[in-house]
Amino acid sequence: MPNPVEPKLISGNANLPLARAIARRMSLHRGMNVELVDARVERFNDAEIFVEVFENVRGEDMFIIQPTSNPANDNLMELLIMTDALRRSSAARITAVIPYFGYARQDRRTKARTPISAKLVANMMVEAGIERVLTMDLHAAQIQGFFDIPVDNLYAAPVFALDIAERFNGHLDEVTVVSPDVGGVARARELATRIGGQLAIVDKRREKAGEVAGMTVIGEVAGRRCLIVDDLCDTAGTLAKAAEVLMENGAEEVHAYITHGVLSGPAVERITNSVMKSLVITDTIAPTEAVKGARNIRIVPTAPVFAQAILNIWNGTSVSSLFNTEMLEPLYEGQFKD
């Protein structure tokens, strides 16, 4: 049954361009103007975060758009404090739209006396008053179980499939989707199935933590257009090395499709100087000027899928329908044309 209350969007400082783009797409879908709720999220001189909402939100269905990307702690605290402000202002429901879920890599104990920070963050969000989470490509799917509230995990694969179909039109039979490690095989296989491509794996061997001793390619890549697929890219060391190994094994060209472009430290320089023809990322994390200026980095939008997911949550219809590439085609019509 449709919700009689209109959805309202509010954003922190983590990725305002994406928040505004989502509002624009919702305006297009709804046929009425949707704007971000007027608020200020500022810092005192000692870096404390202060939030003030200038509009009445009593009884409203609120959606906070805030990825917890770098600086992760500041953006997480903004999200929690905005949630508290809305809860104390009697919002009817608070949904956190977290395009990039920070701390997701700390989803288990890998050594003795270490935390499971993803679970701690989930507890903090629920305690603050968040009643639902909408995110994209969690680093580990089991993080959904860390929450005792509904979690909708969208996937970038349907969007990437549309881009690949456009960019490699007429050459899809030459495409091989590559997982950069054994742990990402399921993600790579899923995209390969969508586009009808072959599958390969780059197997990493480590002598000690943080250092890759060697890589072995499992699968046929000679003469193929290889697409490395992963959920995030941090310093790009492994990605650049994997691209080199694929070229050494006879690949015709190498591209990468990565959902979250963390791209910290020397990442942009490594990608620019690598053998990769292109790196495609989404805008779940606000790109830096260096990323925008890189010759071989391209950004695809997520606002269409997030806007539709918010509307589906608001009116009580299926979010899983957005997992299908065919369902996204009308939303992304014309987006991938040169």
Which tens digit of pLDDT belongs to each residue from 29-69?
887 889 999 999 999 999 999 999 999 999 999 999 999 99
230 assigned to a ligand binding site: yes
Burial class (CB in 10 A: 0-12, 13-18, 19+), 279: buried
Tell me which residue of 12, 17, 97, 136 sits closest to 314, measured CA to CA. 97
In terms of pLDDT, which residue wins out, 282 or 208? 282
* pLDDT the model gives residue 18: 98
Burial class (CB in 10 A: 0-12, 13-18, 19+), 214: exposed
Global confidence as pTM? 0.94
1: pLDDT strictly greater than 70: no
Do 172 and 288 belong together in one domain? yes
122 assigned to a ligand binding site: no
Domain enclosing residue 207, as ranges: 157-300
- Taking residues 207-220, report their average pLDDT: 73
Coil, strand or helix at 36? strand
Do 144 and 33 belong together in one domain? yes
- Taking residues 148-154, report their average pLDDT: 97
* Other beta carbons within 10 Å of 59: 11
260 assigned to a ligand binding site: no
Do 37 and 132 belong together in one domain? yes
Do 145 and 168 belong together in one domain? no
pLDDT band at 325 (very low <50, low <70, confident <90, very high): confident
Out of 98-102, 148-152, 173-177, 180-184, which region has the weakest mean confidence (pLDDT)?
A: 180-184
Q: In this structure, what CATH number is given to the domain that contains residue 119?
A: 3.40.50.2020
* pLDDT the model gives residue 204: 77
* pLDDT the model gives residue 32: 81
- Percent of the chain scoring above 70 in pLDDT: 95
Residue 1 lies in a domain: no
Residue 292 annotated as catalytic: no
Out of 4-8, 64-68, 83-87, 206-210, which region has the weakest mean confidence (pLDDT)?
A: 206-210
Q: What is the 3-state secondary structure (H, E, C) of 77-137?
A: HHHHHHHHHHHHCCCCEEEEEECCCCCCCCCCCCCCCCCCHHHHHHHHHHHHCCCEEEEEC
2: pLDDT strictly greater than 60: no
Do 221 and 186 belong together in one domain? yes
pLDDT in tens, 284-297: 999 999 999 999 99
Residue 276 lies in a domain: yes
* Other beta carbons within 10 Å of 162: 22
207: pLDDT strictly greater than 70: no
Residue 280 lies in a domain: yes
48 assigned to a ligand binding site: yes
- Taking residues 252-271, report their average pLDDT: 97
Residue 325 lies in a domain: yes
Do 326 and 242 belong together in one domain? no
Catalytic residue among 8, 111, 119, 204: 204
Do 145 and 216 belong together in one domain? no
* pLDDT the model gives residue 4: 60
- Taking residues 307-328, report their average pLDDT: 93
Do 30 and 91 belong together in one domain? yes
* pLDDT the model gives residue 193: 96
251 assigned to a ligand binding site: no
Do 11 and 37 belong together in one domain? yes
105 assigned to a ligand binding site: yes
Do 34 and 130 belong together in one domain? yes
* pLDDT the model gives residue 206: 61
